[in-house]
Structure 1
Amino acid sequence: MKFLPISFLILALATATALAYDPSPLQDICLATNDLESGVFVNGKFCKDPKQATADDFVFMGLRNPGNTSNPLGSKVTQAFVQQFPGLNTLGISMVRVDFAPGGLNPPHFHPRGTEVQIVVEGTLLVGFVTSNQLNNTLFTKVLYKGDVFVFPIGLIHFQLNIGNTYALSISSFSSQNPGLITIANAVFGAKPPISADVLTKAFQLDKKVVEYLEAQSWYDNN
């Protein structure tokens, strides 16, 4: 190893880091199961015996019907992650359906383990994401119409807003079977137990009464 050029070692480490997301499958299928007695544990999920697989294990019907948008956000996210769709286990992909009432918002959030690519099926959406501090928190935003596709890089805060007067629908896919979700307002002001108001007062440069008011609200989860 000592004879390898430094540049080669750096490239090897960078490649290993880049590939360190969902693991590649080591067998044809590894269907997630909650049966801890017969399953084999693989990165967060147990796999059932592949000889017991049926066609039903590879279909998910939860995206058929519109989500209920009668809520404070006017949107509903229906997930097809590995938790809902066991057939995705070890495949490194997942999906969601997002329904929007007129004016409906999928609020600022991020996925710590997956890049998202979204296609608009119906309606008109204003979408965008914000880069990290490294790139001065630059906002990239665009109005999307039916058939348009937008990508949200892994780990960056993003949002979608229905700016049309009619119902809107989008479908997104992810580069992870379990991309995770952190909704900013819910995490900051709805943490349990709550984050110290002194911390948030200084962080957001708000009056302490405003912070206490925000922490007292019921932060809706549209997932």
Structure 2
Amino acid sequence: MHSTTSQDSHKLNRTLMAWSINIPEPVLFFLVMAVATTHMAHAADPDIASDFILPPNVTSDLINGNFFTFTALRQAVDPDGISTFSVVKATVAEFPALDGQSVSYAVLLYPPGSVNPPHAHPRSAELLLLTGGYLEVGFVDTTNKLYTQTLQP
């Protein structure tokens, strides 16, 4: 019985050896890196597939230059100054041409002595235009480094 088991084991080893593949180490490393790189390349965000996105129930024959023009920010310019905090926005809700463009705009009007509390908006940007007074601004990057600046008109 012992010899039968030994013969079976020998046959199994020969079968496994016939199926094994001897790949040199550098070639194996290259294959593993190629597969890993290929998978990383597929992890990116998709490209924007169109120039703009039409709102529901709007056909392209109705689109003209007015669709791409937003004039509501004009109300943010008040030559007499402001007495209360107010916000004028240009987001997809107010300006449908922004859909799919990864951009929005907001004008925050602060009366003198106001404070904008610390806030977060990860992976986005903020553009500030100061028309009077001064403003202390800053942000913290992903390595927790603080950048500050005093803005003046």
Q: TM-score, structure 2 length as denominator? A: 0.60
Give the equivalent residue in structure 1 for 2:152.
145
1:55 matches 2:65: yes
5+ long unaligned stretches in structure 1: 39-47, 147-223
Q: CA deviation at 1:113?
A: 4.9
1:91 matches 2:133: no
CA RMSD of aligned residues (A): 3.2
Per-residue CA deviation, residues 129-164 of structure 1 (Å, 9 max, x unaligned), is: 2345x53xx432210112xxxxxxxxxxxxxxxxxx
> How far apart are the structure 1 equivalents of 2:90 and 2:49?
23
> How far apart are the structure 1 equivalents of 2:133 and 2:41?
41
- Contact 1:29–1:50, Cα closer than 8 Å, also in 2: no
1:13 matches 2:36: no
Give the equivalent residue in structure 2 for 1:120.
130
Give the equivalent residue in structure 2 for 1:26.
49
5+ long unaligned stretches in structure 2: 1-29
Whose helix fraction is larger, Structure 1's or Structure 2's? 2
Per-residue CA deviation, residues 29-61 of structure 1 (Å, 9 max, x unaligned), is: 313x3x4xx4xxxxxxxxx32222122211111
Q: TM-score, structure 1 length as denominator? A: 0.44
- Contact 1:69–1:99, Cα closer than 8 Å, also in 2: no
> How far apart are the structure 1 equivalents of 2:47 and 2:71?
26
* Identity level (%): 29
Structure 1 segments of 4+ aligned residues over 3 angstroms from their partners = 14-17
> How far apart are the structure 2 equivalents of 1:142 and 1:7?
46
> How far apart are the structure 2 equivalents of 1:7 and 1:105?
52
> How far apart are the structure 2 equivalents of 1:126 and 1:15?
41
Q: In the superposition, relative to structure 1, how do residues 112 and 104 fare at CA in structure 2: closer, same or farther (>3 Å)? A: same
- Contact 2:112–2:133, Cα closer than 8 Å, also in 1: no
Q: CA deviation at 1:14?
A: 7.4
Q: In the superposition, relative to structure 1, how do residues 4 and 78 fare at CA in structure 2: closer, same or farther (>3 Å)? A: farther
SS of alignment partner, residue 78 of structure 1? strand
Which residue of 90, 103, 109 corresponds with 2:113?
103
- Contact 2:90–2:106, Cα closer than 8 Å, also in 1: yes
